Amino acid sequence: MRYYILFIFLFYTCFSCSELVSNPDNTIENNKVENSNSTEITKAEFAIIIHGGAGTILKENMTPELEAAYKIKLEEAIRVGHTILKNGGSSIDAVQKTINVMEDSPLFNAGKGAVFTNAETNELDASIMDGSTLNSGASAGTTTVKNPINLARVIMENSPHVMMAGVGAERYAEEQGLAIVTTDYFFTERRLNSLHRVKEKEANKEKTIDTESAYLDFYDTDIKNYKFGTVGCAALDKSGNLAAGTSTGGMTNKRYGRIGDSPIIGAGTYANNNSCAVSSTGWGEYFIRAMVAHDISALMQYKGLSLKEAAKEVIQDKVPHLGGDGGVIAVDKNGIMVAEFNTTGMYRATMNDKDELNISIYKD
């Protein structure tokens, strides 16, 4: 009987040891993360990634001067956020201040450089999300708020709501002491000329209701795309908190108060400390239907995919399957950064905790 009990004890002990060896838990040790494939990933102290829009961005359509201007502004923007993170600041501050730089530049379709609607107005959208609390804020269809990402943040922090739109959002911005401008602040001749070209093309084409016709309503022959320049940022801070934000002027020639994915939490912006922070840029209608930003996070949390695998599945498979295109920038809880897009280019930049800067425009 004693030998039988000893045998049972040894059997279960060996079985348990085997289970521990064959199914090790993911652990963090000495700043290393062991993933499910038993490969070690260095955990970054902090990281930041930005985008300035995705689309048909080809080198042959870009002058050396314009390319240089974009790279200078991308570097200026990301260094603002990087400095905040390096000095121990929060990811939410880094995201907001980085996006402010791009909103204040006429190069991007956000803030100062916003595209024109069919009615020759500028209607701006933005959203921001805190991955530590899942709190979020968004503004849509504003015409007088200088920096829509600032409004998104005060909505997140100072109101019981997630999204405000139009006149009500503008009134709230005034009450919160945000910078208010006259509508001519957003005027740029380049964007107005783009609208006129689109309208001319629209007037000369046969009116149909097929997908290609809808596409041409927004196509801009100058910038070679219909959704160009949306800006965004995702960041991880030293406290391990993730945040993301997105700001845009929407589509050239948009009508009827159209709202895209940029102010939609889960589509244009998402952040969760358990997975990643994401900012999207692309054809908003499809990014809303696919809930792109949240889907990437969900694939990581529920399916166990890496950030790269999740972003690739959504951007290279799910969105094109629906008929849309565009891209995302994202950073995960370990500081791994990804820029995934299915267009010919995306303005983007990264900086890590080693002060390494990378700026890219075209598909490598």
Q: Which residues are catalytic?
A: 230
AA letter at 265: I
Instruction: Report the distance separating Cα 222 and Cα 38, nearest Å.
Output: 49
C-alpha distances (whole Å) from 243 to each of 22, 33, 103, 135, 296 are 35, 21, 18, 10, 15
Please give the angle made by the CA atoms of 303, 53 and 325, to the nearest 5 degrees. Answer: 55
Residue 294 · residue 267 · CB < 8 Å: yes
- Give which of 49, 46, 135, 129 is closest to 88, Cα–Cα: 46
Instruction: Give the sign of the dihedral formed by CA 223, CA 197, CA 280, CA 161.
Output: positive
Helix residue ranges, H only, 247-335 = 284-290, 292-303, 307-313, 319-322
Angle value at C-alpha 293, between 96 and 24, nearest 5 degrees: 105
